[in-house]
Structure 1
Amino acid sequence: MIQKITCFLFVMVGQACLSQVQERSVFTGKIASNTSSLDGVYVINAQTEETVSTSDSGSFSILAKADDVLVFSSISFKEKRIMLKPEDFSNLNFTVNLNMVMYQLQEVVVKRYDNINAERLGIIPEGQKKYTAAERKLQTATALNATANGGGMAGGSISADPLLNFFSGRTAMLKKEAAVEKKEFFMKLLENMFSLDHFINRLKIPEEYVKGFEYYAVDNEKFTVILNSKNKTSTEFLLGELATKYKEIIASENK
């Protein structure tokens, strides 16, 4: 008797499960959002736990029936739950709109590493000469750059560009441009090291002559070498000597 009852229960449970499977059909839809990347979004039937993922176009197909809840889940979108209605199965354009997840940074820390450069990273060998933009142009225009001859001749050929640049006046123009750029560099270096007040009150240079004195100082090769070393004490000492000479020039011109 117990065996008959047990068999009856197994049959009933099996039929119930079979009827549930038969009740579900393939449900097709798609997702939409304000982004072009719609693939890889998980679509989960909360009742059966069946899981599929969307295609590149956002389309998906999953076994479902009316009253099943579909869960749309992705790291890029906010989770959304939709309970299916009978009319959804006849809707050929069933679309679920998803909202993107916006991540807000609480704090951004920017660290400055002054010692990081191409030499320390091993990109270029240490101790190489550094060129300014104007110096690079001049170097390119005047370099002979011998190149190997692809034929059977020994040695190589030399570009005629440096000669053409020389006779056309381009080399002279680039030399002037490099000199001006270098002078502007030293002017900025000098102004960053000493304030206007230092020139007027410490060196006693009249305010209207300060700019002229700066040009006078950076024209002195010995001074620019010390200035470029960024040794403020030595620079200030030589600057004082140049200021004395410059004030003598001003006095002689004003007689």
Structure 2
Amino acid sequence: MKINNTYLFLLLLLCQFVFCQNNDRKEFCGFVRADSLSVEGVNIVNETSQKYAVTDKNGFFLLFLKEGDVLVFSAVNLVTLRKKLQKSDLDNPILQIQMQIESIPLKEVIIKEDSKISAENLGILSKPAKKYTVAERRLYTARSGLLDRPLNWMSGRTKQLRKELAVSEKEQLMAKMEYLFEENFYIETLKINKDYIRDFQLYCIDNADFANSLKTKNKTLSKFYIITLAKNYNKITVYEN
């Protein structure tokens, strides 16, 4: 009986010690980032209290912490970080942690000419990089540089290049129209006179909404706009004739 009482006393003393240890801690909000981006799914283990947490989709986590606690941060593709908390860390309302992306050195990479590897497929770009036409590159060159811009403006070169760019853009839109819509579509569906097809195409690409649908390669929207434009165009030609 005496042994049982002693054991119970020691157990209560241990529980009280653990409770006091946890009671000293306060709940803190932390934020983990890597290369200026918040990181989801980072595992945080408090080695001192044996508690853990995981960052959410915005990189935040909650843990009871105190000065002297040792935290271990780990995640796939990130360098594991071990940090002992200082008083200055807990003086801020949010504990901010900066982690490093783990780089994997490659011996050699050979890309074949027919390979489909691109910056877009690799996730470097969210969408294909814009490809500039000759006219766009000329205009950009004329408008860049400390001296090029005022000199080209005074000589009228910038104005001329803008005209060339506008013509180039119209030619591209015309090419897209010819690809999307066959001649029979103009004559049978839109009821456009064969001799007026070219003039009608120019009329269409002057419409901002239709031009934008061509640029975004939205065939359904382009078809919707061209049918409406055809009705208006036919009314104009009837009135003029």
TM-score w.r.t. length of structure 2: 0.49
- In our comparison, the structure showing a higher alpha carbon Rg is 1
